[in-house]
Amino acid sequence: MNTRQIEILKLLLVQPVGVYLLIQSLADKVKCSEKTIRNDLKKIEKDLQSVSRAALIRKPGYGVLLEIGEVEKADLYQRLFANYQVEAMNDQDRLLGIGYSLLMSKEPISAGALAAKYYVNKNVIKTDLNKVRAWLEHMGLTLITKQRIGIMVEGSEKSMRVALSRLSQLAGDSKSPFRYIAGQFSKYEVEIIQSEINELVKQHSLYFTDDALDDLIIHVLLQIRRVKLQHSFFIDDKDRKFLQDKKEYKWARDFFRKIEIIFVVHFSESEIMYFALQLIGAKIKQGSSLTHPLLNKLTAALIEEMAGEAEQGFTDDTILQKGLSVHLNTALNRLSHGLDISNTMLPEIKKMYPYLFNKVIDILGKLNEAFFLQIPEEEAGYLTLHFQAAIERQLKNNIRKKKAVIVCHLGIGMSQLLRSKLERKFSAITVTDCIGKADLNHYLDRTGVDLVISTIEVPLLTIPHIVVSPLLSDVETIKLDVFLKTLDRTDHFGRRESVLSTLALSSSIFLHQEKCHRFEIIEFLAGQLYKEGYVAKEYGHYAIARERMSSTAIGSSMAIPHADRSYILKSGIAIATFKEEIDWETEKVSMVIMLALKEEDLERTKQLFHELSSLSEHPGVLQRLISFQDKNIFLSHLNELPELLQLHLPR
C-alpha cells in the first residue's frame, strides 16, 4: 500500500464501531477524487485478506466501514506503519529532500523547481512547505518566501546544523537521521569517515554509544559539505578559552589534518573546535573524559526529588545512580557549550510512560531554576527511561509467589503429575496441595490461597480460578500464562472502576467544541475547575507555563495539560473534545483532559495515567469517545473503560 492508502485504512480503523464513512468524506480528507478512493479501497481490501480477518463493508448511500473486532483493530493499528514503512517512504523522502535542499542551498529555490524535481503538482509542494515551515520554526529557523525569487531558510549556522542533524524528525521518523544524511554522500566518503572515527575511538580508548558514533559521523559529513558550500561556523570566545587546553581539541585537530588531505578541504579553527565540543558532549557507555562540576549535586537532587514524588526507593539504587551520572554528565557538557540534545524516542516515551515523564518534567522545572540550567524535554525523556528501569527492577525483586491449590478429579497420580508440570513451568506459583472437588470449600475456609487450578468445573468462587487439562498441553500452558499475567495486572492496579470516570466532573465536560488555540482551551478548562472550587485562580496561567516547558500531548489525539499541585485544592478533571483536530505544538489533538490531582491521591494518579496510556493504544475506543455529543453517554462509556481497554482490573 502507498501512503494515501495507509492513511485511508487508518481513518477506517479509528471510526467508531458500526459507523460508516462516506466516500466523499474520505476523498476530502486525503485530498483526491472519489474514483481514486474506490480504487484504493480495492487495493486495501486485497492486502487485508493476507494479514487480517477484517472485512470492508460497502453500503450505497452510507459509505464504507471496516468490520473488525476491537482487539484485532488495536493490533492492526499498532502494526500498520511498521508493516508498510518501506513502501510508504515516498512522501517522507520527498519531505526530507525538500528540507535538505532548502537548508543546504545558498540560493532561493522556487516551488516550481521543487514540483518538477519530485514529479508532483504545486499544491502538494505547498502542503509540504507548510510542514517544513512549522518544523523549521521549532528549530529556531525561518522559511522565507519571496515572490518571483523563491524560497530560502534564514537563521544561524548553528541552528542550520542542528536542523540537518535532526532532519528525520521532519518526516515524523523516530529513527536516527544517519541513513538519510549518509545517503547524500558517496559510499566511499561515508566509509572513510567511519574508518577515521573508529580509529580515533580506538586510539584514545573512548566508549561511545552506537548512536553517539553515528552522530559524530553525521556531524563530520555535514561539516565537509557546509565548508565546501562556504557556510562558515564561528566559535565564541568562551568556548575557545574552554577548549584551548583540552585533549579533545588536540584529538580533533589531528583528526581534521587527515580529513583535509583526503577531502581536499580546509577546516578553520572554529570548525575543529566545533568537532571537539561534539566529542566532549558525545554519549558514552561508561566513564567520562570530563566531569561537569554540577553533576554530583544535580544527580543527588534529582534522585531525592523523584523518590519523594513517586514514593519509590530510588535513593538506594546504585544502578540508577550510575546510569543517571553517565547520562547527565553528557547532557550537562552539551548544554554548557550550546550543543543540542536530541531524542528520537520522545513521542513514544510520552505515550508509554506519561505519569513518570510528567513527574520528571515537573522536577526538572524546579532543578533548572535552582541550578540555573535549561535541561530540555528531550533529556527528560532519557531520564524517564532510567527511572522506569529502576521501578521495574524493584517490581521484579518484590514479586511474591502465588499460592495455588490443585483440584483434580483423576486421582493422586494425575494430580501429582500436574503439580510437577506447574512448578517446573511456572516459577511464580507455589502449589499448596492437591485435593478433590468435594474438599475445596472446606480447604479454602481454613487455608489462604491466591488461586485455584482445577481439571473440572468448580462452584462459583470468590477467588481467581481456571480450568485446565490434566495433561497441561502447550495450548493449556499458554492459557495459564495469560491468566497469571492478568492476575499480576489486577494486583498492581487494585480498582475496577474507571479512575477517569470517578474524577471527571460532569459540569466540566464539553463535547464537540469548535477549533481553537491550545492555550485557549487550557485557560477555559482551568477556569471551569476554578469555578467548581477545585483549583486556584492562577492554575490556568501555570498550566500554560508548564505547556511551554514540554508539550503534554501523549499521542493518539490526546493531551493532558496540568500545573503544579500547589495550586490544586481538590482532585478533579475537566474534559473537552473537538469536532476537528486542533494543533498542539507538533501534534494534532481531539481530546483535552485537564488534570488537577492532589498529592495524597498518588495511587489513584498512577492508575489514571495507566488508563490514559492504555486509551492511547486503543484508537477505536478513543475515537468512539470523541464522537459522542451526549454527556450522559460519554460518562457512561468512561465508566466502562476498564472493560473496553481490557485492563482486567479486579472487583
Q: Is the dihedral of CA 427, 429, 433, 435 positive or negative?
A: negative
567 membership: H or E segment, kind and range: none
Choose between 120 and 403: higher pLDDT: 403
Per CATH, domain 499-644 is 3.40.930.10: yes
Domains 3-83 and 181-280 share a fold: no
Q: Are 601 and 569 a contacting pair, CB within 8 Å?
A: no
Q: Are 638 and 504 a contacting pair, CB within 8 Å?
A: yes
Residue 33 DSSP symbol: -
Contacts of 363-369 spanning 24+ positions with Cβ under 8 A: 363/302, 363/305, 363/306, 363/309, 364/302, 365/546, 365/549, 366/305, 367/298, 367/301, 367/302, 367/305
d(CA 478, CA 488): 15
d(CA 173, CA 67): 30
d(CA 514, CA 445): 59
When mean pLDDT is compared over 140-144, 167-171, 480-484, the highest value belongs to 140-144
Question: Average pLDDT of 2-10?
Answer: 82
Cβ contacts of residue 149 below 8 Å, gap of 6+? 108
All three cell numbers of 440 = 475445596
At 614 the three-state DSSP class reads helix
Per CATH, domain 3-83 is 1.25.40.10: no
Q: What is the pLDDT of residue 255?
A: 95
pLDDT greater than 70 at residue 544:
yes
Task: Return the ∠ at Cα 394 (arms to 388 and 395), rounded to 5°.
Answer: 90
Residue 285: band (very low, low, confident or very high) from pLDDT cuts 50, 70, 90: low
Cβ contacts of residue 225 below 8 Å, gap of 6+? 104, 184, 185
- Average per-residue pLDDT in the chain? 84
Least confident piece of the model among 42-46, 242-246, 611-615 = 611-615
SS3 sequence, 100-141? HHHHHCCCCECHHHHHHHHCCCHHHHHHHHHHHHHHHHHCCC
pLDDT digits 0-9 by tens, 300-358: 999 999 988 877 888 888 889 988 988 898 888 888 877 878 787 888 888 888 888 98
Choose between 117 and 564: higher pLDDT: 564
All three cell numbers of 323 = 546510569
Q: What is the pLDDT of residue 286?
A: 54
Q: What is the dihedral of CA 426, 432, 435, 440, to 10 degrees?
A: -110
Q: What is the pLDDT of residue 178?
A: 81
Residue 557 DSSP symbol: T
Per residue in 592-623, is it b (16+ CB within 10 Å) or e — as a string? bbbbbbeeebeebbbbbbbbbbbbbbbbbbbb
CB-CB neighbours of 432 under 10 Å: 15
pLDDT digits 0-9 by tens, 630-645: 999 998 888 887 776 6
pLDDT greater than 90 at residue 142:
yes
CB-CB neighbours of 338 under 10 Å: 14
pTM above 0.75, yes or no: no
All three cell numbers of 259 = 580529513
Question: Average pLDDT of 90-107?
Answer: 86
Question: Average pLDDT of 552-564?
Answer: 89
Q: Which of 539, 605, 574, 559 is nearest to 350 (CA)?
A: 559
Q: Give the start-to-end residue ranges of the domains of the chain.
A: 3-83, 89-175, 181-280, 295-375, 402-483, 499-644
Question: Average pLDDT of 565-578?
Answer: 93
Q: What is the pLDDT of residue 299?
A: 94
End-to-end CA distance of the chain: 44
d(CA 134, CA 141): 9
Question: Average pLDDT of 424-432?
Answer: 86
SS3 sequence, 339-398? CCCCCCCHHHHHHHCHHHHHHHHHHHHHHHHHHCCCCCHHHHHHHHHHHHHHHHHHHHHC
CB-CB neighbours of 24 under 10 Å: 11
d(CA 240, CA 270): 8
Classify burial at 650, counting beta carbons within 10 Å of its beta carbon; exposed 0-12, middle 13-18, buried 19 or more: middle
Q: Are 614 and 74 a contacting pair, CB within 8 Å?
A: no
* Total residue length of the chain: 651
pLDDT digits 0-9 by tens, 510-536: 999 999 999 999 999 999 999 999 999
Q: What is the pLDDT of residue 173?
A: 61
Q: What is the pLDDT of residue 651?
A: 30
Q: What is the pLDDT of residue 495?
A: 44
Residue 287: band (very low, low, confident or very high) from pLDDT cuts 50, 70, 90: low
pLDDT digits 0-9 by tens, 204-236: 888 888 888 888 999 999 999 999 888 888 888
Q: What is the pLDDT of residue 398?
A: 63
Q: What is the pLDDT of residue 650?
A: 33
Q: Are 364 and 380 a contacting pair, CB within 8 Å?
A: yes
Q: Are 406 and 422 a contacting pair, CB within 8 Å?
A: yes
The CATH code of domain 402-483 reads: 3.40.50.2300
All three cell numbers of 237 = 570566545
153 membership: H or E segment, kind and range: strand 150-154
Choose between 495 and 546: higher pLDDT: 546
450 membership: H or E segment, kind and range: none
All three cell numbers of 495 = 480498582
Residue 646: band (very low, low, confident or very high) from pLDDT cuts 50, 70, 90: low
All three cell numbers of 61 = 448511500
pLDDT digits 0-9 by tens, 9-52: 888 887 766 778 888 888 888 878 888 898 999 988 888 877 77
Least confident piece of the model among 70-84, 154-168, 468-482, 495-509 = 70-84
d(CA 212, CA 223): 16
pLDDT digits 0-9 by tens, 433-474: 998 888 888 888 888 888 999 988 887 777 888 888 878 888
The CATH number for 89-175, chosen from 3.40.50.12590, 3.30.70.20, 1.10.10.10, 3.40.50.740, is: 1.10.10.10
- Give the CATH architecture of domain 181-280: Orthogonal Bundle (1.10)
